[in-house]
């Protein structure tokens, strides 16, 4: 049973993050998830080819080349097809969501839960604010629209701006002991667009976030202690655990490989998730093991039910920060 050492616990308390090396086995824990995403890409390619939107299914290409080819040829990014959460707006009956058994197995991975238990206790709830991040090399996406800096913008594909995960949930979760668990499924070194964190920023409280079209939520550089930035390079099998108020971002992917990672969150069972319209589940309970969700089909159905329930609804905002806030100009 993996456990954090006293020095690792001190690291988390002092700096707001801790990197645990070689926690997961690349072959048994990670490869099944990548295989599931191969299948999703295959389904997407067949769908687009049948609709006449691409010239071939490109079945002879590997995942990286195939993804870039499809993005370039269509001029679109299909991030939602791979995501393990619904979008925050515009939900329809056919909104894509990737809720397969391998993704569920990662959410319930016992090695992850052992470390999570060290940090937030034994009653663990899988918070529905969760995503897959598939970031292709920007140099290989000439057909995808760029921002005025010449980069692909947004959390889904491009470099991620500075933010706190506490800042992208509703105020009801401000006191929730929410933990971010960042799991690279491929190597995430500097050139791949790895995570950067501001050490100790979790002690500064919730900072003001700005919001602009195509960028999402971000904290301005002048509001950050950038002299405390730590670049967190992770290989497959390493996992980064972060406090909900730790400021972090990701670099652009300037490598030749697609960078794939899970951005997962957990909190003690019974505390608000900050996104009440989306379904979470009990991932571990020492006092009531029967309350744990163990069936991947039930988990998937909970998201399909949420999709049906929220289709065509005028959803309330999940965000507390006003769009184009004049204080951010």
Q: Is residue 143 part of a domain?
A: yes
Asked if 194 and 281 count as a contact pair (C-beta separation under 8 A), the reply is no
Is pTM beyond 0.85? Reply is: yes
Q: Is residue 40 part of a domain?
A: no
Asked if 71 and 141 count as a contact pair (C-beta separation under 8 A), the reply is yes
Q: Is residue 261 part of a domain?
A: yes
Q: Is residue 227 part of a domain?
A: yes
**Predicted pLDDT of residue 215:** 66
* pLDDT tens digits for range 158-217: 788 899 999 989 999 999 999 999 999 999 999 999 999 999 999 999 999 988 766 678
Q: How many domains does the chain have?
A: 1
Q: Is residue 45 part of a domain?
A: no
**Predicted pLDDT of residue 312:** 86
Q: Is residue 65 part of a domain?
A: no
CATH of the domain at 251: 2.60.120.620
**Predicted pLDDT of residue 48:** 98
CA angle at residue 260 from 214 to 188, to 5 degrees?
A: 100
- Binned average pLDDT, 10 residues per bin, the chain of 329 residues: 94 98 98 98 98 97 96 92 92 96 98 98 98 90 61 63 92 96 98 96 93 77 93 98 97 94 98 96 98 98 96 80 77
**Predicted pLDDT of residue 313:** 83
**Predicted pLDDT of residue 16:** 98
Residue 34: burial class (beta carbons within 10 Å; 0-12, 13-18, 19+):
middle
DSSP 115-179: HHHHHH-S-EEEEEEEEEEEE--GGG-TTS---TTSS--STTTSPEEEE-GGGGS-GGGTTS--E
Domain that includes residue 242, residue range:
10-27+100-307+321-328
- Cα–Cα distance for residue pair 80/156, rounded to 1 Å: 8
CB proximity list for 300: less than 8 A, separation 6 or greater: 99, 100, 104
Q: Is residue 5 part of a domain?
A: no
* pLDDT tens digits for range 234-261: 999 999 999 999 999 999 999 999 999 9
Instruction: Name the residue with tokens 């006092």.
Output: 287
**Predicted pLDDT of residue 234:** 98
Q: Is residue 67 part of a domain?
A: no
- Cα–Cα distance for residue pair 301/307, rounded to 1 Å: 10
């Amino acid at each position: 049973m993996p456990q954090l050492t006293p020095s690792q616990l001190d690291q988390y308390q002092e700096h707001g993050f801790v990197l645990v090396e070689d926690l997961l086995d690349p072959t048994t824990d990670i490869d099944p998830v990548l295989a599931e995403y191969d299948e999703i890409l295959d389904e997407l390619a067949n769908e687009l080819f049948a609709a006449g939107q691409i010239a071939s299914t490109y079945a002879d290409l590997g995942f990286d080349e195939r993804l870039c080819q499809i993005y370039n040829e269509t001029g679109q990014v299909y991030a939602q097809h791979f995501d393990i959460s619904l979008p925050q707006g515009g939900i329809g009956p056919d909104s894509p969501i990737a809720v397969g058994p391998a993704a569920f197995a990662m959410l319930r991975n016992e090695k992850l839960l052992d470390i999570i238990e060290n940090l937030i206790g034994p009653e663990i709830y899988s918070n529905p604010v969760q995503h897959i991040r598939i970031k292709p090399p920007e140099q290989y996406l000439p057909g995808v629209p760029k921002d005025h800096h010449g980069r692909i913008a947004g959390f889904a594909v491009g470099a991620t701006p500075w933010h706190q995960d506490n800042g992208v949930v509703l105020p009801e979760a401000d006191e929730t002991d929410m933990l971010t668990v960042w799991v690279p499924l491929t190597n995430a070194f500097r050139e791949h667009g790895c995570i950067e964190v501001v050490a100790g920023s979790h002690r500064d409280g919730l900072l003001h976030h700005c919001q602009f079209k195509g960028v999402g939520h971000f904290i301005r550089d002048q509001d950050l202690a950038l002299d405390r930035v730590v670049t967190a390079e992770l290989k497959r099998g390493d996992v980064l655990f972060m406090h909900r108020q730790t400021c972090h971002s990701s670099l652009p992917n300037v490598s030749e490989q697609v960078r794939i990672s899970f951005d997962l969150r957990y909190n003690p069972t019974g505390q608000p998730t900050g996104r009440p319209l989306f379904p979470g589940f009990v991932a571990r309970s020492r006092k009531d093991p029967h309350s744990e969700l163990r069936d991947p089909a039930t988990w998937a159905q909970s998201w399909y039910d949420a999709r049906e329930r929220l289709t065509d609804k005028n959803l309330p905002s999940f965000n507390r920060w006003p769009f184009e806030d004049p204080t951010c100009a």
